[in-house]
Amino acid sequence: MVCGGFTCSKNSLCALNILYIMVSLLMIGIAAWGKWFGLISSFQVVGGVIGVGIFLFLVAVVGLIGALKHHQVLLFFYMIILFMVFVVQFSVSSACLALNKEQQNNLLEVGWNTSDTTQRDVENSLDCCGFASVNYNETCSAPCFYNSSCVSCVSKIQVHTEEVLRFVGGIGLFFSFSEILGVWLTYRYRNQKDPRANPSAFL
């Protein structure tokens, strides 16, 4: 049976927003856990992930309250914000899946040069030194540096880059389609009358 009634639309929208709340809390928890145990030392990365998690949490709470109360204004703004997030996320996910090797290397180099903290994290976790070449006249925190057996980090990063981009792109596409589903459910739900309300009420 097709979900077309008021109650079904309300429950579907509530379930979708509860899923978003759980995902947002998971993002915040993983970022905080990684920072607490020293797995991630970059405040930019942790702050970015937590910021995205908080934004998603707030949007989901607005959508959940709007769905429970059938609040027209909250549902309208929720629908607009969710559509904007869909456009951005769909574009980024498609770009992740479409990057070729040269574009991947350029993107990696930009990220490498952005933060010294990120460089140290990568060198320690992958046991490598330098981005494209190893220079033993410079300092490096990787264990291999002390016995002069290091390789460049780009050679190790490239092994996982394509796999990570496909994973991120796939997950992003999945959630982008769930977001457009949320937009459609919200649009339809806004134009349905609550059977428990006054029959003469106009939405």
* Alpha carbon distance 86, 23 (integer Å): 16
Predicted structure pTM score: 0.70
The amino acid occupying position 202 is F
Q: Which DSSP category does 142 fall into?
A: S
Cβ pair 152, 134 in contact under 8 A: yes
* 3-class DSSP state of 132: coil
pLDDT per residue, tens digit, the chain (203 aa), is: 446 677 888 889 999 999 999 988 888 887 777 666 555 555 666 777 788 889 989 999 999 999 998 888 999 999 999 999 999 888 888 887 787 777 777 877 777 777 777 777 787 877 888 877 787 777 787 888 877 778 888 877 777 777 777 888 888 888 888 889 999 999 988 887 766 665 555 44
Q: Which two tokens stand for residue 33?
A: 């856990």
Q: Which DSSP category does 147 fall into?
A: G
Vertex 125, ends 121 and 126: CA angle to 5°? 115
Nearest in space to 182 (alpha carbons), one of 3, 9, 13: 13
Cβ pair 63, 13 in contact under 8 A: yes
Contacts (Cβ under 8 Å, ≥6 apart) of 76 = 190
